[in-house]
């Protein structure tokens, strides 16, 4: 595995790639896996480019190969995040309905909490049933920043 650190408006993110694709977007304070080396990798370069475009307001979706490691349910929940439109939020219950598991809102929340490629698979777009911001790996300030950014870009 390879990793690279990039400066963003939400802090220094660490990108992690395996041979099959992007494996992680880590928040400030999170360390890359011990077996990862700081080295160039085409997936890391492309992820950095697309994240910079996102933060510049020029990208609304990501087109990267992903190397997601998780249970089948987690992977389904994570991939479903990519279907949430830019500058839109849904509840955990709505995400569970979309997955065909209407009573699995808590399981969806737990899966989203383990989303290894946040921002790329936008778990920040999932909020509580009341519309309140709830837990986020990068912290609620980062979640608020990402949602506000998307609303500004969307005009």
**Cα separation, 99 vs 57, whole angstroms:** 29
Catalytic residue among 15, 123, 126, 146: 123
Q: How many helices (H) and strands (E) does the chain have?
A: 5, 6
- Is 53 an active-site residue? no
**Cα separation, 43 vs 38, whole angstroms:** 13
**Residues labelled as active-site residues:** 123
């Amino acid at each position: 595995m390879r990793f690279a650190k990039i400066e963003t408006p939400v802090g220094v993110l660490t990108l992690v790639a395996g041979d099959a694709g992007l494996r992680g977007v880590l928040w400030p304070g999170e360390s890359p896996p011990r077996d990862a080396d700081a080295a160039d990798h085409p997936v890391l370069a492309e992820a950095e480019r697309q994240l910079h475009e996102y933060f510049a307001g020029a990208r609304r979706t990501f087109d990267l190969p992903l190397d997601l490691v998780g249970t089948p349910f987690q992977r389904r929940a994570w991939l479903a995040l990519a279907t949430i439109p830019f500058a839109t939020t849904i509840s955990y219950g709505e995400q569970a309905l979309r997955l065909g598991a209407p009573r699995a809102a808590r399981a969806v929340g737990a899966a989203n909490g383990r989303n290894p490629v946040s921002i790329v698979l936008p778990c920040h777009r999932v909020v509580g049933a009341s519309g309140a911001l709830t837990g986020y790996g990068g912290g609620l300030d980062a979640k608020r920043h990402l949602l506000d950014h998307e609303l500004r870009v969307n005009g």
